[in-house]
Chains A and B, each alone.
Chain A
């Protein structure tokens, strides 16, 4: 299996909802990443996990909460989001930190 999968593909949520984004890879990669991408902009790094431990948090608001239950899974828990958080959320993985990253297809999030 040589891909990163993300679910759901699309998500619409209200500002009071709690939802989660999921990411999975079975390439044996030990680094996983969450990015946020607005239209016509490059991906912006949010979080990095290395060997299931949070390695980098790019000053992301606490309404975004990452979780890495095991080496294959990465979640992003969402709570009390704002309309400006609407974006494409991308997950990526790499063999270890610093190697080339492989991206999933993303979750298109709309916050109403």
Chain B
């Protein structure tokens, strides 16, 4: 299940399940979005990106969906594995700026 509180929002799934991590962004001028995975003690690792002229992009086992109407981004991970356990951050870039703004992050815990 998913929990939100004083701690990082956490999504707990079983190995083999499909996972969906959500991100709401606030700036309607954002035109580029990235998902990063950050394992404990490591830097963020690029997973997949999408531009605002698309609503879906697929990678290996991952799919990013973009709904500009409601300013929502999601990351779908198929057949989740214990190695997918990490904190996932979405990041957005405003078309008028060159830097990224990171979302709060979601911790994904995968049980064997």
Q: Is the CB of A42 within 8 A of B102?
A: yes
Residue A69 at the chain B interface, CB threshold 8 Å: no
B13–chain A nearest beta-carbon distance, Å = 20
B87–chain A nearest beta-carbon distance, Å = 8
Residue A32 at the chain B interface, CB threshold 8 Å: no
- Residues of chain B within 8 A (CB-CB) of A84 are none
Interface of A is mostly: strand
Q: Mark A24-47, 1 if CB is under 8 A from B, else 0.
A: 000000010100000011110100
A12–chain B nearest beta-carbon distance, Å = 16
- Residues of chain B within 8 A (CB-CB) of A106 are 42-43
B102–chain A nearest beta-carbon distance, Å = 4
Q: Is the CB of A48 within 8 A of B43?
A: no
Count A/B pairs, Cβ under 8 Å.
53
Q: Flag the segment in A60-68, A70-78, A97-105 that touches B.
A: A97-105
Residue A81 at the chain B interface, CB threshold 8 Å: no
Interface residues on A, range: 20 to 34
- Residues of chain B within 8 A (CB-CB) of A4 are 43
Q: Is the CB of B105 within 8 A of A103?
A: no
Residues of A within 8 A of B (CB): 4, 6, 31, 33, 40-43, 45, 48, 50, 55-56, 90, 92, 97-98, 100-106, 108
Residues of B within 8 A of A (CB): 7-8, 32, 34, 36, 41-46, 49, 87, 89, 93, 98-100, 102-105
